[in-house]
Amino acid sequence: MMGYIWGGMIVLSFLFGMIGGQTEAVAQAALDGAKNAVDMALSLLGMMCLWSGLLEIAKQSGLTEKLARLIRPLTRFLFPGLPPDSPAVMAMVMNMTANFLGLSNAATPLGLAAMEELHKINPRPERASDEMCMFVVINTASISLIPTTVIALRSAAGSVDPFGIVAPVWICSSLALLVGVMASKLMARRKRGQR
């Protein structure tokens, strides 16, 4: 569907450019946009490779296991139905770490692995468990210490202060996470009360 929308926008742009006598300007804008897209993709690729490599080093060195033990009280509060030694906990910690570092693209496969592990221990596979719902909330509204993707995009776009969004990102993501966790806990309690 999105392909049709983008295709329609391109066709309409060229059509209105021809009607308005701006065909050369539209063609030049298309070429400039393609060049900027490649530049931006390359700058994001470098950032993603760096942080993904650091995450893999942390995993192989055992740092993520230590981090999982360190935040065990938090994971026990957020996911009371999960055994502490569950493989899902390790996958969720990796995902949270990637999100914390602002690596949303690197966090996606880790989040999918965590959901697969959570699904394996779900007593009612036809429905999402409370732990699955809480993980989706945390994954979606995660706090990003270093929003690397946004910083890289701002830098590639020529921003004078690409790091100027760090404090607002901390505030917004903290509030979103707090509200999401509270809502998820409230809904889980309500669901248990209805049983």
The proportion of the chain whose per-residue pLDDT surpasses 70, expressed as a percent, equals: 93
User: Tokens 């470098």 appear where?
Assistant: 46
| pLDDT (tens digit per residue) in 128-176 | 888 888 999 988 888 877 777 788 778 878 888 988 888 888 898 899 9
pLDDT score recorded for residue 30: 80
Confidence grade of residue 179 (pLDDT, cut at 50, 70, 90):
very high
Q: What DSSP line would sit under 102-145, residue for residue?
A: T-HHHHHHHHHHHHHHHHHT-SSTTS--HHHHHHHHHHHT---S
pTM, full prediction: 0.65
pLDDT score recorded for residue 158: 84
- pLDDT higher than threshold 90 for residue 92: no
146 DSSP 8-state letter: S
